[in-house]
Amino acid sequence: MESASSSSTETGIQASAVRPRTGPSLLVVDGTQIYREGLADALRAASWTCEVRTAVDGPSAVHAIRLAVPDVALVNMAGGDGLVMVTEIRGSAPQMPIVALGVTDTEDEVVACAEAGVAGFLARTGTSDDLERAVMSVVRGETLCSPRATAMLLRHVTALAARRNEPAETCLTPREREVLILIEQGKTNKQIARELAIEVRTVKNHVHNLLDKLRVRRRGEAAACLREARVPSTQVLRGVAAGTRKDPRGVPEPSA
């Protein structure tokens, strides 16, 4: 029979000793060892936590959850695979709240996190006190985020309500449509990020969302949707890729 420490090493999961005190049990999920271990050590030393375990990625997090479901999962979004990990964790424990760590103050990332099922947010500038408040809020079934993030989410909900009766294919945002055009051209995430002047992980967020909205699983299938004219405004989209854009009034204007 394997020892607990041997099993933990092989699965990428590390657990702290269970302490005789109350508080939420946590699972820290991050691929960077120094960050993961540092945060876990700080949380174990905090007076408001109980058991703290760690996982290196989505599969090891799912394994940890199967052993014992924590009260809250903390997922670092800064590594670029945060949304994938959130999706995998949600598939294993859909009722368990997830707090996204290191979220940038941009509408794209805040909305992407919310759509993936995140219950709480902690910005890159967040403190340990902010983390405690976020965790305790989601434990109570609440969501704690900044007023700016709240405004972003409300705008998104308003936009969704306006598109409620539209087919899924028409629900892509202008940025997602730009990304789709570049996917059809065979460009990688890095190339798309460079062309649109955004971060690679933001591109990954857009790809994740547009695949979900188009109800496909692969980039090639999304490109096929465009070629088959399942995505509306194909002429406009091709114009965007060629350097022609439309302003909010629908008037074409050449790009600089």
pLDDT tens, position by position, 172-222: 888 888 999 999 888 999 999 999 999 998 999 899 888 888 888 888 888
Beta strands in the chain (DSSP E): 13-15, 26-29, 52-55, 72-76, 98-103, 120-123, 244-246, 252-254
> CA 83, CA 218: separation in Å to the nearest integer?
16
C-alpha span between 40 and 136 (Å, rounded): 17
> How far is it, in rounded angstroms, from Cα 189 to Cα 182?
9
| H/E stretch holding 103 | strand 98-103
- Say which DSSP state 193 is in: H
Mean pLDDT of the residues in the chain: 80
What gap in Å lies between CA 53 and CA 189, rounded to an integer? 32
Q: Which two tokens stand for residue 171?
A: 């629900």
Confidence (pTM): 0.61
State the pLDDT at residue 57: 93
Q: Domain locations in the chain?
A: 4-154, 167-247
Range 4-154 classified under CATH 3.40.50.2300: yes
Q: Report CA torsion sign: 58, 97, 215, 201.
A: negative
| Cross-sheet strand order for the sheet of 52-55 | 13-15, 52-55, 26-29, 72-76, 98-103, 120-123
CATH code, 167-247: 1.10.10.10
Distances (CA, A) of 52 to 3, 40, 44, 73, 122: 19, 6, 6, 10, 18
Q: What element of type H or E holds 156?
A: helix 147-162
Structure tokens at 222: 């999304």
Can you give the pLDDT at residue 21? 60
CA distance 114 to 37: 26
pLDDT, one tens digit for every residue, the chain (256 residues): 444 444 444 445 555 444 456 799 999 999 999 999 999 999 999 999 999 999 999 999 999 999 999 999 999 988 778 888 998 999 899 999 999 999 887 888 888 888 888 999 898 888 999 999 999 999 999 988 888 888 888 887 777 666 555 555 557 888 888 999 999 888 999 999 999 999 998 999 899 888 888 888 888 888 887 776 444 444 444 444 455 444 434 444 444 4
